[in-house]
Amino acid sequence: MKTIQNIGIIIFLIGLGIFSALPFMGTFKLDQGTFDGIVAEKRIKSDLFIQDIQQNVVGKEYNGMINLSSNISKALDNANEAHVKNKEYKKKIYTKSSEMASLIGKRSGSGYIVNNKGIMWMLTFGLGIIGALMFIVPQVLTLGKKGIKNDGIYHQSSTNRGWIAWLVFAFLVSFYMVLYFGSEYAVNWTYLVDPISESLSGNPAGHWFVYGFMYCVIMVVMAVRMYIKYRHNMYQMVRTTSVLFFQIIFAFLIPEIMVRLQMPYYDFKNAFPLDYDFFFQWNLKSLINSGGIGLFILVWGIVLTLVIVPVMVYFFGKRWYCSWVCGCGGLAETLGDPYRQHSSKSLFSWKVERWLIHGVLVFAVFMTGITLYSFFAETGTVMGIKTSGIQNTYSLAIGSVFAGVIGTGFYPIFGNRVWCRFGCPLAAYLGFVQRFKSRFRITTNGGQCISCGNCSTYCEQGIDVRAYAQKGENIVRSSCVGCGVCSAVCPRGVLKLENGPEAGRINPTQVLLGNDVDLMELVNNK
């Protein structure tokens, strides 16, 4: 078994290695016809840029994207600079250089990778999946009888912030940097999944399709790990199945198929304000122009946030969204599970959490307010604030850096829920409902707590669960996403996630159950 697992790791690393090397590989040659097509499609009016590209790029063969992309961005910057200087604003190109480079790159790729997409898929995704499963599946036997499987977590480099954890951190952060800020380097990755994308939406894959596909693949593979690790715990099995279902069907397949059907791309479970650009002008316009389905999405999006989300939180707690449906939660609960113990449980972190997450919520609401005002008033600035400026700031700082680079990149260091705990505005909103008007709580089983600390250690949201349990108090916290792991790891059966009557949900106690009844009444009713 150990041998199979080791071979699995090697295969996985080969796949990962090839995948990581792809951004530096491949041949790219832009021909005149393709370029003319791009000029027409993008309505490029900059003669300077067209000339520059025709002279320096067209017909030349590039190895890897690095030189090609730098030539394109140079050409674009020079052209724009000249146009601004000459006040030829109509000629200025507003497409970002990274986006232009990926567009040109994608159309001009040639050579082995482009011509052997299937084989290349096998060498990257294929090897990764096979290798990972060869490592994971034997755990059915190597982990022994079903039960809690946390042996050695704090002895291993990968799960104890050792060098492996730091390597994973570096990889994840670089990956997200490429995704958000250097999509031209993802061009080769898009070729691998072109056939899949074409079969779904009919279009060739962009870098977001790569991300979406990878997201699903990683979740499926890591869900296999969850099924094995938590096979004694039905709650975890059902919950894992649920997040998988919503990711693959709702977040990945339905939007792609909708595109094929000439409908807007929309993830029906992605609720505002997590879906922060729902009310952006371009989205509203696209929805309004999409006929019946567009209107339906518009109404659904609003009803989802204003009615469905809070009502469901009232009955089931915010877990129904955060750990059963949400994509961010889905990744956190599968890929992130090995890192859940790294969330800080200090009171200081809790204070930071409350400032940050509520700050982001205020920011999101403020930005959306301005966005809607400028939409209806048909203006670009509100009270001297440029709408597009505040939107871009939010998209960059919160949407990309916080949710992506920090949120996932920091899994191995700060735990798997950094974004959900400190940043997600939807979680903040759900949290209010959960804290003040909900039937959900984690019930503490009388006086059975032995203060061992397993619950707190494995709480991904950094809740000091034990602080409540050892006082015999139920856990009612806005940040709890109801993953159920505290209850799973408790060695004494103290914790149970339940939806019950609101009365008595919050039950501060001084003297625990088991001590004399008169004394308890005396003290607790004081």
Partner 1 sequence: MEHIVIIGNGIAGVTAARHIRKNSDKRITVVSTETDYFFSRTALMYIYMGHMKFEHTQPYENWFWKKNRIDLVKGYVNTVDHLNKSLILANGSSIAYDKLILATGSKPNKFGWPGQDLPGVQGLYSKQDLDQLEANAPDNKTCKRAVIVGGGLIGIEMAEMLRSRKIPVTFLVREDSFWNGVLPAGESALINEHILEHHIDLRLGVNLGEILADENGRARAVVIKETGEEIACDVVGLTAGVSPNVDFLKDSGIELGRGIKVNRHLETNIKDIYAIGDCAEQHESIGNRRPIEAVWYTGRMMGETVAQTICGNKIEYKPGHWFNSAKFLDVEYQTYGWVFSERGMKEYEQHFHWRDDKELICITMAFHKETKQFLGINTFGIRMRHEIFDRWLTEERDVFYVMEHLKDANFDPEFYTTYETKIVSKFNSEFGTNITPKKKSWKRIFSNA
- Residue position matching structure tokens 């961010």: 328
Residue 43 phi, psi (nearest 5): 50, 50
From the list 288, 305, 273, the residue with the least C-alpha distance to 424 is 273
235 or 314: whose CB is closer to partner 1? 235
Kindly state whether residue 37 participates in binding partner 1, applying the rule CB under 8 A: no
Please give the DSSP secondary-structure letter assigned to residue 447: T
* Cβ proximity to partner 1, 223 vs 405, nearer residue: 223
Smallest gap, in angstroms, from Cβ of residue 140 to partner 1? Answer: 15
Question: Alpha helices of 378-452 — where are they, by DSSP H?
Answer: 387-394, 407-409, 411-414, 418-422, 425-436
Amino acid at 168: V
Q: Is 487 a binder of partner 1 (CB under 8 A)? A: yes
Query: Least separation, in Å, of the C-beta of 325 and partner 1?
Result: 16
Single-letter code of the amino acid located at 306: L
Half-sphere exposure of residue 250: CA atoms within 13 angstroms, side-chain side: 16
β-pairing, 109-110 with 381-382?
Answer: unpaired
Is residue 515 part of the contact set for partner 1 (CB under 8 A)? yes
By the rule CB under 8 A, 142 interacts with partner 1: no
Q: Which is nearer to partner 1, 384 or 501 (CB)?
A: 501
Is 438 a binding residue for partner 1 by CB under 8 A? The answer is no
CB of 218 or CB of 489, closer to partner 1: 489
Determine which residue in the list 74, 285, 437, 492 makes contact with partner 1, applying CB under 8 A: 492
CA distances from 117 to 112, 120, 184, 188 (A): 8, 5, 18, 10
Strands across the sheet containing 109-110:
61-63, 27-29, 109-110
Using CB under 8 A, which of the segments 99-107, 259-267, 409-417, 513-521 binds partner 1? 513-521
CB under 8 Å to 48, separation ≥6 — which residues? 78, 79, 82, 83, 91
Nearer to partner 1, 225 or 441 (CB): 441
Closest distance to partner 1 from the beta carbon of 456 (Å): 7
DSSP character string of 108-170: HEESHHHHTHHHHHIIIIIHHHHHHHHHHTTHHHHT-SSS---TTGGGSTTTTT-HHHHHHHH
For partner 1, the binding residue among 470, 478, 480, 483 (CB under 8 A) is 470
Which residue among 139, 386, 496, 524 contacts partner 1 (CB under 8 A)? 496
> Which one of 59, 162, 291, 491 is in contact with partner 1 (CB under 8 A)?
491
In the complex, minimum distance from the CB of residue 518 to partner 1, in angstroms, rounded to a whole number: 7
Q: Are 89 and 83 in contact, with CB atoms under 8 Å apart? A: yes
Piece in contact with partner 1 (CB under 8 A), picked from 162-170, 251-259, 403-411, 512-520: 512-520
Enumerate residues 347-406 that contact partner 1 by CB under 8 A. 347
Question: Would you count residue 157 as binding partner 1 (CB under 8 A)?
Answer: no
Q: Are 327 and 420 in contact (CB under 8 A)?
A: no
Nearer to partner 1, 307 or 517 (CB): 517
Dmax (CA) for the chain in angstroms is 92
245 contributes a contact to partner 1 by CB under 8 A: no
- If one asks whether residue 500 binds partner 1 (CB under 8 A), the answer comes out as yes
Whether 315 and 437 have beta carbons less than 8 Å apart is answered as no
Q: Which residue has the tokens 């804290």?
A: 435
With contacts defined by CB under 8 A, name the span among 115-123, 143-151, 182-190, 332-340 that binds partner 1.
143-151
Considering only residues 139, 150, 395, 524, which one is a binding residue for partner 1 as defined by CB under 8 A?
150
What φ, ψ does residue 107 adopt, rounded to 5°? Answer: -80, -15
Site for partner 1 contains 1 (CB under 8 A): no
Residue with Cβ nearer partner 1 (190 or 461): 461
Distance of closest approach, residue 469 Cβ to partner 1, in angstroms:
10
Tell whether residue 513 is a contact of partner 1 (CB under 8 A): yes
Residue (305 or 454) nearer to partner 1, CB:
454
Residue whose tokens read 């995948």: 19
Tell me which of 145, 376, 383, 384 binds partner 1, using CB under 8 A.
145
Q: Which is nearer to partner 1, 13 or 450 (CB)?
A: 450
Q: Closest CB to partner 1 among 393 and 509?
A: 509
Shortest distance, position 321 Cβ to partner 1, whole Å: 17
For residues 272 and 301, is the Cβ–Cβ distance under 8 A? yes
- According to the binding rule CB under 8 A, does residue 516 interact with partner 1? yes
The answer to whether the peptide bond before residue 501 is cis (omega within 30 degrees of 0) is: no
Q: Measured from the CB atom, is 277 or 464 closer to partner 1?
A: 464
Residue 144 makes contact with partner 1 by CB under 8 A? yes
Of 209, 194, 176, nearest to 402 by C-alpha is 176
CA distances from residue 194 to 31, 202, 203, 261, 499 in whole angstroms, order as listed: 21, 9, 8, 18, 45
Report 297-356 residues binding partner 1 (CB under 8 A).
346-347
* Cα separation, 280 vs 399, whole angstroms: 14
Which of 381/510 has CB closer to partner 1?
510
Report the interface residues with partner 1, using CB under 8 A.
144-148, 150-156, 232-235, 237-238, 346-347, 443, 445-448, 450-454, 456-457, 466-467, 470, 484, 487-489, 491-493, 496-498, 500-501, 503-504, 507, 510-519, 522-523
